[in-house]
Amino acid sequence: MEQTNMKASKGMNIHLRRIISYVVLILITIMCLVWFYILFINSTRSHAELNRGFTVVPSTYLLTNLQNVLHGTLPILTGLRNSIIVSVISAVLCTYFSTMTAYAIHVYDFKGKRIAYTFILAVMMIPTQVTALGFIKLVGNIGLDDHLGALFLPSIAVPVTFFYMKQYMESTLPLSLIEAARIDGANEFYTFNRVCLPLMKPAVAVQAIFTFVSSWNNYFIPALVLHSDEKKTLPILIAQLRGADFLKFDMGQVYVTIAFSIFPVIVVYLLLSKYIVGGVTAGGVKG
């Protein structure tokens, strides 16, 4: 009888903890999504309605705001294209070459290995603002001023991504697997591309999302190197909309442009999230 009561009490405690967990998760989800809802509501309202305060009911100015933005003086669609080009190329270059660098540090044993690893970590501590002046001068000297290449080429060397991939390799990529591939006659590039990268899919997906979002939202560097409206990315164009003079300023256009710029990020996350959730155990070596 006592054992039955203990089992019942234990079952009730598990059920109670499960209910509390679901309630907390629902509250967190609501807190995360409410800002998207506010953004959507404000995107459907005119500038005059926004000045009167917030309401939970959508208005009817969504298409009007969108048409005003697309047919305005700023090339929003061109900025969207530029942001997509820069963000996609940055994500590909960053994840591939950072993984390759981490692979070299993890697999090879060479003189100065610890010095190289320490140097890369030291570079990670340097803020972007400190090197901005030298970066602008370098961009001008190599002819990349007002060019999109100045935004995605530096993504080849990202110490933070390298460090993450190196830490992931230490727990996922055994050296015995690399030796087995070499014994089977695989060259180094084949081993990296066909053996290492498939095992690193979860980490690559995470870093691709982070790099894409970081590049998509980047304002500081593009504002320094891009000058013509045809080369500018969305964050710069949104800032120009917000900085318009009093007669041309329209908060409805600002909100609809921000909402317009969020959708590509959501699409990228939805495409790569399956590798994060479903591929967590894919890095293990099957016995």
Domains of the chain: which residue ranges?
Answer: 2-43, 66-278
Predicted confidence at residue 285, as pLDDT, reads 41
Tell me the helix, strand and coil percentages in the chain, rounded to 5: 75, 0, 25
**CATH code 1.10.3720.10 for 66-278:** yes
Radius of gyration, alpha carbons of the chain: 25
For residue 93, pLDDT over 60 is answered with: yes
For residue 287, pLDDT over 50 is answered with: no
Predicted confidence at residue 284, as pLDDT, reads 43
* Distance of alpha carbon 28 from alpha carbon 131, whole angstroms: 38
DSSP H helices, 108-146, are: 113-124, 132-141
Predicted confidence at residue 157, as pLDDT, reads 87
- Give, in degrees to the nearest 5, the angle at Cα 104 between 130 and 204: 70
Per the document, the length of the chain is 287
For residue 36, pLDDT over 80 is answered with: yes
For residue 282, pLDDT over 60 is answered with: no
pLDDT band at residue 247, thresholds of 50, 70 and 90?
low
Provide the percentage of residues in the chain whose pLDDT is more than 70.
90
Calculate mean pLDDT across residues 180-194.
Answer: 89
Calculate mean pLDDT across residues 61-78.
Answer: 88
For residue 56, pLDDT over 50 is answered with: yes
Query: Does residue 127 or residue 163 have the better pLDDT?
Result: 163
For residue 4, pLDDT over 90 is answered with: no
Smallest CA-to-CA distance from 87 within 198, 189, 179, 221 is with 221
For residue 65, pLDDT over 70 is answered with: yes
* Distance of alpha carbon 93 from alpha carbon 189, whole angstroms: 16
Helix (H) or strand (E) holding 281: none
Q: Which of 140-144, 149-153, 217-221, 272-276 has the lowest mean pLDDT?
A: 272-276
Give, in order, the Cα–Cα distances in Å from 221 to each of 50, 177, 214: 32, 41, 12
For residue 283, pLDDT over 70 is answered with: no
Q: How many other C-beta atoms can be found within 10 angstroms of the C-beta atom of residue 104?
A: 15
Calculate mean pLDDT across residues 265-281.
Answer: 69
Predicted confidence at residue 11, as pLDDT, reads 63
Predicted confidence at residue 2, as pLDDT, reads 54
Calculate mean pLDDT across residues 226-252.
Answer: 85
* Distance of alpha carbon 26 from alpha carbon 227, whole angstroms: 45
pLDDT band at residue 57, thresholds of 50, 70 and 90?
confident
* Distance of alpha carbon 64 from alpha carbon 78, whole angstroms: 20
* Distance of alpha carbon 160 from alpha carbon 203, whole angstroms: 13
Calculate mean pLDDT across residues 221-229.
Answer: 91
The per-residue pLDDT for range 13-34, each reduced to its tens digit, is 778 888 898 999 999 999 988 9
* Distance of alpha carbon 173 from alpha carbon 141, whole angstroms: 41
The per-residue pLDDT for range 165-183, each reduced to its tens digit, is 998 898 888 888 898 988 8
* Distance of alpha carbon 82 from alpha carbon 179, whole angstroms: 43
Per-residue b or e along 203-234, where b marks 16 or more CB atoms closer than 10 Å to that residue's CB: bbbbbbbbbbbbbbebeebbeebbeeeebbbb
